[in-house]
Structure 1
Amino acid sequence: MLNGLDIEGNSPLHRMPVRGKLIVLFAAAILLFLLSDLRLLVPALGLSVALYLSTGIGVAEAARRTRFVLFTVLLVAAANTVFQSPHEGAVVFCRLSTLVLLAAAVTATTGISAFMDEITRLITPLERFGFVRAADVSLAVGLVIRFVPEIFARYGEISAAHKARGLPVRPLTTLVPLIILTLKDADTIAMAIDARGFRRQ
């Protein structure tokens, strides 16, 4: 298994408390969806790029981690351009790209265990009312974050296997085996969780 998405460093974002990062990210998401002025959204996008790179991740690695999500954002923005207006498409692209990069910066500077501990503490008050189980929610978030690099690695292995056999690497031919392998991993993790009794605590 690969390590998580976090990287070692001493940037201001690394030193910032986990709760502060989550609060700022939540506030930024609300603010971004309230804004529709490109004179504000474009600088916000530039700021998010600078913040992400300030973690010391490197341009190539930063692009590798976010390219799939940003490609999806580009498709959504293109759809808004066609069905609404070019201005709306640009707004959607800047808004969602900024949010993706901010979230990527947070995950790059925060360990999975720190995420899970903080989410557990934040959700525990709701557990007293019977709305959620804090441990289950934090475990789910931790698994999602943990498996992102694993899925990237699976995709790389499948692409390498295609190239070794002289086959073209196409989305359809790589997506099906990627889904199958991911589901197998999910079943293995689920059995391990049940065997340790995490969901019966």
Structure 2
Amino acid sequence: IDGFQFLEILKEKNINTPVIMVTGYATAGNAVKSLYAGAIDFLPKPFTADEILSTVRRGIRYNAIQNKIMNRSSNSDKDSLLYVPCPATYYRFGYCCWAKTEQDGTIRTGLFDLFLQTIENIEQIIPAKTDETIIQGHSCLQIKTKDQLVHNVLAPVSGRIVKRNNSILENIDIIQKDPYFKGWIYLIIPSNREFDMKNLIPCSSDRI
């Protein structure tokens, strides 16, 4: 079976083991399909030792968070949040980032809090430049941690960056404390809105 069939089997059997998709077919389409199908990350070949290390560490932390959610028993634990879900009107790309359509038709993007919880000791955020074009499923942001690992963030939509939130570069705490509002990353003019939105998951579907 291939990786996508494997993800489908896990879903059918309700197995929550995190999956990192590794492939020699490094296309944006495969990255998008992987995250939509439930993989926590997509790693194309060839990759470096640091790239696989950063991805695996996030996977281990993701698994620990999911286990804590599954194993909560006391009322106090049930009432506590291990991560903040994105607002119901947003859409998410896998578990790494979110997208929100603004009234003027632009799309605002940012990081999913669960993704941030899998990264410790952020040292630097390395964004794309204003007016740069990003592609859904390709890296659009890098996060460097104090252990010198670099974590790539895949773009939730394709389009041209018309504005970026420079305040998160000056104060990293903003993106960690308020990832869905003050900690947004880009404002984008989408190049293929309808196609890209089909690959995103409504955050309203995450509600129990």
Question: TM-score, normalized by length of structure 2?
Answer: 0.28
Higher relative contact order (CA 8 A, sep 6+): 1
Q: Whose strand fraction is larger, Structure 1's or Structure 2's?
A: 2
Q: Whose helix fraction is larger, Structure 1's or Structure 2's?
A: 1
Q: Larger radius of gyration, structure 1 or 2? A: 1
